[in-house]
């Protein structure tokens, strides 16, 4: 690690102002200016690191500059490298890296839309996070008030790329979809049945979440974190609490770490079971979904027994968990898991016994490993396309370092294998919970918390069931949050959907989309 930073210093003496490790395993490299191109190229090429996220912060009032943060990690290396590049208020722009790093295409444009910092040289600098009919506002600047009432919007929401050619036409879908899912607009260009290309318009559910964090005391912000993406309520809650705990140097009791781990895995199991059933439904194999729905109810019932909420809400707290588990509740976990394991095995057997279902799932919606790597795909979708990345193993948090588990990785990248990753992970999660129960220590379930000093920052990453969730916080005055960056895995993975549907027939779109099952609310915030 030290040699890495010595090298950086030696190679870029003019660019680097300081290197400091304020939080263990999180090294912040403060730069002299907004141009990070040379350093990023070097880090990516010479050290095989992966860019995790890019985000900005408005520090104009305090320091007279904006900051851009570039976060990198490397599998097997516990430390995060965070480049912190100041952008002067008078020249609100930074050189774009999106042409070389498609993985940060949307995130750079988000900075452009929300902070009014121009990504110079971006290959597609159009708006992404604000629709085209929004007035010219920069919601995440400190000078913009959360309660601002914007005038009625006028004009086009978005201009889609036109489609030309004989027999080629466009199919607009959404934002109100046919199923019970979240809103977003899909514009398909099709030549008969096959899809030529797909254009996406997201951010219909943009709720000003990141701005809202800045007005909340920390104990209320935990509940906002639970509402970022409803199916990942607990994962987002843990990601937020970990970030605050790291910033505040709160040691979470071991028992609480184990309880969090168990609940994180229960969230994964419930969602994976639902997805396996839903993928089967989208190819017309409805009986599998009926069983999946029934098995999922068992897990939700267990969630309620453990936390009082079927979707694990109101359980996570800064310093641990809100409620301890009594022995009878712990027994319920073992009992339910036994039933769920058998039932899930039967469910998988039923799906695999259906040749017509397999035929629809195999070679459908292929995301090639090279593409997945370029686009920076994470989580289930990444692991089905050869990206061997799992935060639980690469940056162990909570109790994961003490629990053995395998990370399933396939290279085929089709719907079948995205389902297979889920099937394998349900099995692994059950083993993780069993191992955690065997080791579950006694002790307090929540650490006492003190007022947190202002100005502390920390990053936290959690492998949610969908993929890597990243939160970054800066603590403000009076136990409030000054900035909270939320990165849901969905924002990484939407480009993968665009890539995977190309050349497939339009009737397969629902199943391809479901095999990714991305969160619109997590993307839009």
Please report, as residue ranges, which positions from 185 to 224 form the binding site for another protein (by CB under 8 A).
203-209, 211-212, 219-220, 222-224
Task: Tell me, residue by residue from 78 to 107, as one string, x for binding to another protein by CB under 8 A and - for no binding.
Answer: ------------------------------
Pairing of strands 77-88, 26-31: parallel
Q: Report in angstroms the alpha-carbon separations of 290 from 48, 347, 482, 515.
A: 44, 10, 45, 18
> Could you say which residues in the range 346-375 bind another protein, by CB under 8 A?
346, 349-350, 353
**Smallest gap from residue 393 Cβ to another protein (A):** 27
334 contributes a contact to another protein by CB under 8 A = no
CB 505 within 8 A of CB 196: no
Residue closer to another protein, measured from CB, 99 or 342: 342
| Mask for 233-262, x = binds another protein (CB under 8 A) | x-----------------------------
The Cβ of residue 156 has, within 10 Å, a number of other Cβ atoms equal to 9
d(C-alpha 276, C-alpha 246), whole Å: 35
Which residues within the stretch 167-186 sit at the binding site for another protein (CB under 8 A)? 175-176, 178-183
The verdict on 313 binding another protein (CB under 8 A) reads: yes
Which residues are bridge partners to 505 per DSSP? 194
The nearer residue to another protein, 93 or 138, going by C-beta atoms, is 138
Cα distance between residue 324 and residue 237, in whole Å:
17
Minimum distance, C-beta of residue 237 to another protein, in the bound complex (Å): 12
Bridge-partner residues for 475, per DSSP?
A: 481
d(CA 392, CA 105): 26
Q: How far is the CB of 148 from another protein (least distance, A)?
A: 5
Least distance to another protein, CB of residue 461, Å: 20
CB nearer to another protein: pick between 51 and 218: 218
Site string (122-161) toward another protein, x via CB under 8 A = ---------x--x--x-x----xxxxxxx--x---x----
Count residues near another protein (CB under 8 A). 72
First to last CA, the chain: 35
Which is nearer to another protein, 26 or 205 (by Cβ)? 205
Residue 391, CA distances (Å) to 61, 373, 480, 493 in order:
35, 16, 28, 16
Distance CA 19, CA 292 (A): 50
265-304: contacts with another protein (CB under 8 A): 274, 287, 289-291, 293-294, 296-297, 300-301, 304
> CB of 332: closest distance to another protein in angstroms?
9
Structural contact between residues 234 and 315, judged by C-beta atoms closer than 8 angstroms: yes
Considering only CA atoms, which of 9, 121, 28 is closest in space to residue 72? 28
Report, in angstroms and rounded to the nearest whole number, the Rg of the chain calculated over CA atoms: 23
Q: Which of residues 389-448 bind another protein (CB under 8 A)?
A: none
Q: Which is nearer to another protein, 228 or 389 (CB)?
A: 228
Tell me if 368 sits within 8 A of 382, measured CB to CB.
no
């Amino acid at each position: 690690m030290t040699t890495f930073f010595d090298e950086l210093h030696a190679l870029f003496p003019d660019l680097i102002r300081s290197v400091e490790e304020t939080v263990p395993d999180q090294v912040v490299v403060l730069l002299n200016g907004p141009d990070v191109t040379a350093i990023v190229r070097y880090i990516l090429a010479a050290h095989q690191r992966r860019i995790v996220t890019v985000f900005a912060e408005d520090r104009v009032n305090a320091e007279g500059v904006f900051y851009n943060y570039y976060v990198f990690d490397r599998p097997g290396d516990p430390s995060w490298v965070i480049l912190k590049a100041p952008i002067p208020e008078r020249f609100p722009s930074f050189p774009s890296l999106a042409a070389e790093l498609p993985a940060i295409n949307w995130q750079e444009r988000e900075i452009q839309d929300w902070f009014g910092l121009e990504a110079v040289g971006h290959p597609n600098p159009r708006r992404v996070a604000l629709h085209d009919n929004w007035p010219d506002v920069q919601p995440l600047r400190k000078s913009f008030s959360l309660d601002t009432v914007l005038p009625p919007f006028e004009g086009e929401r978005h201009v889609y790329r036109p489609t030309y050619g004989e027999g080629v036409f466009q199919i607009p879908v959404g934002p109100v979809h046919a199923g019970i899912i979240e809103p977003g607009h899909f514009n398909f260009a099709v030549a008969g049945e096959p899809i030529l290309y797909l254009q996406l318009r997201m951010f219909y559910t943009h709720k000003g979440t990141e701005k809202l964090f800045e007005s909340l005391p920390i104990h209320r912000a935990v509940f906002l974190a639970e509402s970022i993406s409803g199916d990942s309520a607990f994962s987002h809650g843990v990601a937020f609490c970990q970030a605050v705990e790291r910033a505040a140097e709160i040691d979470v009791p071991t028992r609480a770490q184990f309880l969090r781990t168990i609940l994180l895995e229960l969230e994964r199991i419930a969602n994976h079971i639902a997805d396996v059933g839903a993928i089967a439904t989208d190819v017309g194999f409805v009986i599998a979904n009926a069983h999946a729905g029934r098995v999922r109810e068992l897990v939700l019932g267990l969630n309620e027994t453990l936390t009082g909420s079927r979707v694990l809400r109101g359980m996570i707290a800064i310093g641990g968990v809100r409620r301890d588990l009594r022995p009878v509740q712990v027994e319920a976990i073992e009992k339910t898991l036994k039933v769920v394991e058998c039932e899930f095995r039967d469910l998988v057997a039923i799906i695999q016994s259906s040749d017509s279902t397999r035929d629809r799932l195999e070679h459908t919606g292929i995301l090639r490993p090279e593409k997945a790597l370029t686009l920076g795909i994470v989580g289930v979708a990444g692991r089905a396309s050869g990206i061997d990345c799992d935060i639980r193993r690469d940056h162990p948090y909570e109790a994961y370092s003490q629990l053995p588990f395998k990370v399933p990785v396939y290279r085929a990248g089709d719907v079948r294998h995205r389902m297979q990753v889920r099937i394998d992970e349900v099995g692994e999660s059950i083993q993780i919970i069993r191992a955690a129960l065997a080791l579950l220590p006694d002790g307090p379930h929540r650490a006492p918390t003190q007022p947190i000093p202002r100005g502390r920052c920390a990053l936290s990453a959690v492998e949610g069931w969908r993929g890597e969730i990243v939160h970054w916080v800066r603590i403000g005055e009076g136990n409030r949050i000054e900035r909270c960056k939320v990165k849901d895995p969905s924002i990484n993975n939407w480009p993968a959907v665009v890539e995977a549907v190309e050349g497939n027939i339009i009737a397969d779109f629902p199943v391809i989309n479901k095999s990714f099952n991305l969160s619109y609310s997590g993307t839009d915030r």
